[in-house]
Structure 1
Amino acid sequence: MTKHGELIAALIGGFLTLLGYILGQLTGLNFWYIYLLAYIIGGYYQIKAGILDTIKSKQLNVELLMGIAAIGAAGINHWMEGAVLIFIFALSGALETYSMAKSTSAISSLMDLQPETARLVINNQEQAVSVSQLNPGDTIRIKPGERVPADGTIIKGETTVDESSMTGESIPTLKKVKDAVMAGTVNIDGNLLVSVTKRSEDSLFSKIVDLVQTAQSEKAPSQLFIERFERIYVKVVIGITLLMLFLPHFVFGWSWSDTIYRAMVMLVVASPCALVASTMPAVLSAVANGARKGILIKGGVHLEQLASVKALAFDKTGTLTKGKPEVTHVLNASGFDDAAFTAAVAAIENNASHPLGKAIVAYTQKTGRTLPEAEHVKVKPGFGVTGEVDGRTYAIGKADMLDPAAVQTFIDKHKNELPEGHTMVYVESEGGVIGAFALKDQVRESSVEAIKTLHHYGIQTIMLTGDNEKTAEAIQKETGVSSFIANCLPENKVNEIKKLSEKYGSVGMVGDGINDTPALAQASVGIAMGGGNDAALETADIVLMKNDLQRIADSVRLSKRMNRIIKVNIVFALSMIGLLMCANLLQFISMPLGVVGHEGSTILVILNGLRMLRG
């Protein structure tokens, strides 16, 4: 079948039907053989699909119903009506095929984003190799304008990378040495040497393609229900049609010609074509819409489930917050100016690897001050670090590491300056605490707006955090979450999700996909953040390729809109079937009008479903 073969066949069938009608009007003859040709050409794809599906599933389907109706119309010498039925049915089928292709193309186009070859560098010599031949540790060159062929780490060069195909973020990202790059993204303006970190089949890109293929095969609950309903309904329609072939003649005194004609019309108008088409175009369009925005959905079942979620639980670190502490306040009682004080502390912390220390170094480097040399640095894991700068010894760390009396004296003296809900790092020197750094994991800019949107949809938001009550309360005030569960260790999150499920029914979990994977699996819908790491892709039902909580609100909006469109389609389809059946029993409609009403409603529900493709 050519790309547009189904549509071309339908149009040829329509042309032959029109030709037969015009010649008949001009000559008064019945050009049945032209209509027969219209039957064969116009109905080829639909009837063939119906026969193959019936053989495979051993169940009758709407395609066979339409074929039987058309043959029945021909049998009572209503060739033109049967040909019109075949044409409109084939046209709606071609439109449905188009809608499937249209809605899946936005995500299946990912397959074209990864290059087939890469520039492998060996002993400063380049050679073109297949991407599938690359192994971790290989060095590849990526020139400006080229797509990244494999996941890797930059070892030489600097560039901006367009990651829109992976994250949905339209603004290019600056990448330097030691930064990671993803297969399928575009190197805009730099000449890079990259060390490959994953084989082609293990790359994030490949996992996304697998995820998309899975999503295309997954069916939403409403779609599964309609498919089960269709099998029963088709048998009911056949039964009603068989009764109508005889009963009206004996009960209402209709002629045999009218009785058989009305039975054929009933077969047409009672067929569930519009009902069958009410879900799939909307579901696939919604999945495609999400993929364009960096929201990867593992099937319509999860998107449909999201619409019924009553509460969303959020991991704090890396989800509601950036996951990296930042210095917000510096208390300096050292006698030195602030720049000298922070430089001395940062010089010592620069020799350690604790995240709090890194935050102090980053804070100091923003001032542009050069760090002095630190000597005799010793790290005390879990507590802090000591070292010497310009002959003066410093101890930097938690209160537990320092002299308790000195810490308490400092706190009492500066109690009005110490911010609440912060992590404190104290600095001790020459027998006393001479300063402190207040650090806090900063809330993401998108968190507050996303939480507001979720509340607008009536969804309760619960923060799960290992922090104490005081810190958790401060984050709650800043983000606006409905409630929080403090002192919650990763291993306890699953139990908390179970408790929330008992309280709310359907509960979603949002996490970074690493420590949160058990909770993501336990929730009704698991939503993973963090740029799509392996744990997230394997565990979550929905993956947000960018750490942007607003995408969660977008997912909920997408889910509710999809469900609303599906419900409208179903109600409209059933209403039209009921209306047309009643009109046929009252002999108000002819076969052509029944065909237009029935197949027109099918086309309308398909077009309504395709609205989900819009941004």
Structure 2
Amino acid sequence: MSMEAKALLKSSTASEENLLEKIKPHAELIAALLSGVLILAGWLLDRSNMEAASIAAYLLAFIIGGFAKAKEGIEETIENKELNVEMLMIFAAIGSAIIGYWTEGAILIFIFAVSGALETYTMNKSHKEISSLMELQPEEALRIIDGSEERVHVSELEIGDLILVKPGERVPSDGTIVKGHSSLDEAAITGESLPVSKGADDQVFAGTVNLNGSITVEITKPNNETLFQKIIELVQSAQSEKSPSQLFIEKFEGTYVKVVLAVVVLMMFAPHFLLGWSWTETFYRAMILLVVASPCALVASIMPATLSAISNGAKHGILFKGGVHLENLSHLKAIAFDKTGTLTKGKPEVTDVIVKDGLSREELLLKVASIESHSNHPLANAIVKYAKETLSESLIRPESIEDVTGFGVKAKVDQDEWKIGKASFVGKAEAKAFAEAAADRMASEGKTVVFVQKNEEVIGLVSLKDVVREETKQAIDLLKQQGIYTIMLTGDSQTTAAAIASESHVNEHIAECLPENKVEHLKKLKEKYSNVAMVGDGINDAPALATANVGIAMGEGTDVALETADVVLMKNDLPKIAEAIELSSRMNRIIKQNVIFSITVIMFLIASNFLQILDLPYGVIGHEGSTILVILNSLRLLRS
């Protein structure tokens, strides 16, 4: 065979494989539609008195339309040693054919195949968010080695490698920017559509889009351990985990199927002897009962709704670790919030600088920031950051510096002795007298006060505060509207806690709460309110998150949060908690609608059959139509 012929054959084979891959997701629907065409052909042949050809067409409709569901039913029956609804449908279709109702049996298979195809479509639709996420991560990266660039597969990247990400490209793996500045679209991670500005030392995540500047990134994680991959794995596992309602329905299904079969066997004989029905009518009514009593719609009431809700949440940056947590959210009566990093930004900011009359505010701030720049304390870092933003002069170097652990810092600048720290460090009496007791007022507002002493005289103070997030009030107010009681847990003093609680709008606060005490407080809250959630940063709040009925972690791109909580907000956006609860309520409401509707339809059809006013085609349409309707109702949860 010539090279050209081989190439042509290879191309033809590849095209066929691509075609098969495209058709595969729609195979059930194609089989159902083909079954419908064969039913129409069988009916036309029957009208033309071509009985043998008509039966052949119906048989083909049975085989083509029912193959997928029959295979699924038989495999599950063998695996679980338990009969299921698919087996009921197979028995009903075969029974209809035995008594000569070929058309009705074929229609049953056709509509059952259509509902099965629709259910598969629902599952595929719910997995689409994950598939689309997986497609966002690029397969190649531009690695920099000794100043030269080479394009490599992402699987070849190792920790410490440097890669170049150009404008418009997606980040191939998690890392830290070492050079360059750009805006990145992190919607795939956080669900937030607004770009985030990032520069040197900032983290970037696989799958995010570099919008407008070239950046050099040092790889910090292998490709298979990126935050992006963990999100995909988490949502996939959540979709496979069944909710309590789904587990109950599945247990109920096995018992229900046995009861239905027992009643159908009884009905094959009892009406003939007790009510004088003919054998044909008796068997016919038994087949209708087999169809209409099958709990297809009931079984399909929960799983499509749960999968749709989980997918909806993932699309908006809310990750659920399973249907059980999603279901529980709408039952919450109270939510406890960690303060630092959850209700507040977690980083102190300078709010006031007060200086003794006659002295320069700028000079004091320059000297204080110059001294504090040698400390790693969060308060010192906040003061230095504030000074750099407000002063035009550069910081100076102190002549000597001494850190007094737990109190403050002592330094010498331009031959002057400086002390910066607590009131007890500079002298309580002097501190109290300074600025007409301004420190007491600031403390009552939840601020931390740092005193400044120069040559034994208190000459100023700097107040700092862990500022409440802008969206906190809105989030708490939304939860209150949903009837949820809110509590803040903090290790701060009673005065500071009261100030932050008032500003945050929470109903109650528990102050001086050490990390090890949070679990005890949560247990008491559970005794009082039954269903309680805990919201924390996912790192130091792990025991409390595990104790609560639902643990909610503020993610902000940290994979630690994925490990510790039941629900993860991929962006530190508190109003999304109310959004998640609303999604849970919508899901539970739709599930109730589905369950009530499916049970009502089954009862109505069974009663109509006993009264001999229901024919098999209408029984099939009523039963399978209800299954299709509950699936379509569940699909509403995919909408934003």
TM-score band, normalised by the shorter chain? Answer: over 0.9
| SS of residue matched to 2:390 | coil
Q: Deviations over 1:551-594 (max 9, x none)?
A: 11111111111111111111111111011100111111111111
Partner of 1:193: 216
Q: Which one-letter code corresponds to 1:216 in the other structure? A: Q
Q: How does 1:67-466 map to 2 (within 5 A)?
A: 67-333=90-356, 335-375=358-398, 376-410=400-434, 412-414=436-438, 418=442, 420=444, 421-466=446-491
- Of the three residues 483, 486, 489, the one matched with 2:511 is 486
| SS of residue matched to 1:445 | coil
CA-CA distance at 1:345 after TM superposition: 1.9
| SS of residue matched to 1:4 | helix
CA-CA distance at 1:29 after TM superposition: 5.1
| SS of residue matched to 2:518 | helix
| SS of residue matched to 1:366 | helix
* Pairing 1:498–2:520 present: no
- Of the three residues 610, 629, 635, the one matched with 1:604 is 629
8 Å CA contact retained: 1:294, 1:544 = yes
Partner of 1:13: 35
Tell which deviates more after alignment, 261-270 or 401-410. Answer: 401-410
8 Å CA contact retained: 2:175, 2:217 = yes
Q: Which one-letter code corresponds to 2:532 in the other structure? A: V
Partner of 1:539: 564
CA-CA distance at 1:374 after TM superposition: 3.2
CA distance in 2, matches of 1:105, 1:123: 41
- In structure 2, do the counterparts of structure 1 residues 241 and 417 end up closer, same or farther at CA, with 3 Å as the change threshold? closer
8 Å CA contact retained: 1:532, 1:543 = no
CA-CA distance at 1:449 after TM superposition: 1.3
CA-CA distance at 1:496 after TM superposition: 1.4
Q: Deviations over 1:267-324 (max 9, x none)?
A: 0000000000000110000000000111111111111111222211111000011001
CA RMSD of aligned residues (A): 1.7
8 Å CA contact retained: 1:62, 1:271 = yes
Partner of 1:474: 499
Q: Which one-letter code corresponds to 2:80 in the other structure? A: S
CA-CA distance at 1:183 after TM superposition: 1.3
8 Å CA contact retained: 1:108, 1:212 = no
8 Å CA contact retained: 1:318, 1:530 = no
| SS of residue matched to 1:558 | helix
CA-CA distance at 1:373 after TM superposition: 1.2
CA-CA distance at 1:415 after TM superposition: 6.2
| SS of residue matched to 2:568 | strand
Q: Deviations over 1:51-99 (max 9, x none)?
A: 1111111111111111110111111111101111110010000000000
| SS of residue matched to 1:318 | helix
CA-CA distance at 1:540 after TM superposition: 0.7
Q: Deviations over 1:437-489 (max 9, x none)?
A: 12111111121111111112221111110001111111111111111111111
Q: Which one-letter code corresponds to 2:588 in the other structure? A: N
- In structure 2, do the counterparts of structure 1 residues 372 and 298 end up closer, same or farther at CA, with 3 Å as the change threshold? closer
- Of the three residues 44, 52, 74, the one matched with 1:22 is 44
CA distance in 2, matches of 1:378, 1:198: 39
CA distance in 1, matches of 2:437, 2:559: 49
CA distance in 2, matches of 1:414, 1:74: 92
| SS of residue matched to 2:25 | coil
CA distance in 2, matches of 1:86, 1:49: 14
CA-CA distance at 1:532 after TM superposition: 4.1
8 Å CA contact retained: 1:374, 1:388 = no
CA-CA distance at 1:412 after TM superposition: 4.1
Q: Which one-letter code corresponds to 2:392 in the other structure? A: R
8 Å CA contact retained: 1:118, 1:140 = yes
CA distance in 2, matches of 1:412, 1:334: 12
* Pairing 1:591–2:616 present: yes
- In structure 2, do the counterparts of structure 1 residues 80 and 604 end up closer, same or farther at CA, with 3 Å as the change threshold? same
CA distance in 1, matches of 2:209, 2:393: 35
CA distance in 2, matches of 1:558, 1:528: 17
| SS of residue matched to 2:171 | coil
CA distance in 2, matches of 1:319, 1:327: 19
Partner of 2:8: none
* Pairing 1:526–2:548 present: no
Tell which deviates more after alignment, 548-557 or 405-414. Answer: 405-414
Partner of 1:566: 591
CA-CA distance at 1:131 after TM superposition: 2.2
| SS of residue matched to 2:486 | strand
Q: Which runs of 5+ in 2 are unaligned?
A: 1-22
Aligned residues, how many? 615
Q: Which one-letter code corresponds to 1:555 in the other structure? A: A
CA distance in 2, matches of 1:561, 1:390: 67
8 Å CA contact retained: 2:443, 2:496 = no
Q: Which one-letter code corresponds to 2:535 in the other structure? A: V
Q: Which one-letter code corresponds to 1:17 in the other structure? A: I
8 Å CA contact retained: 1:343, 1:369 = no
8 Å CA contact retained: 1:148, 1:183 = yes
CA distance in 1, matches of 2:578, 2:635: 21
With the length of structure 2 as denominator, give the TM-score of the two structures.
0.93
Partner of 1:550: 575
Query: How many percent of aligned residue pairs carry the same amino acid?
Result: 56
Q: Which one-letter code corresponds to 1:393 in the other structure? A: E
Q: Deviations over 1:480-515 (max 9, x none)?
A: 111111111112111111121122112111100111
- Of the three residues 509, 517, 521, the one matched with 2:534 is 509
CA distance in 2, matches of 1:382, 1:168: 41
CA distance in 2, matches of 1:122, 1:408: 61
Partner of 2:79: 56
8 Å CA contact retained: 1:532, 1:544 = no
Q: Which runs of 5+ in 1 are unaligned?
A: none
Tell which deviates more after alignment, 426-435 or 151-160. Answer: 426-435
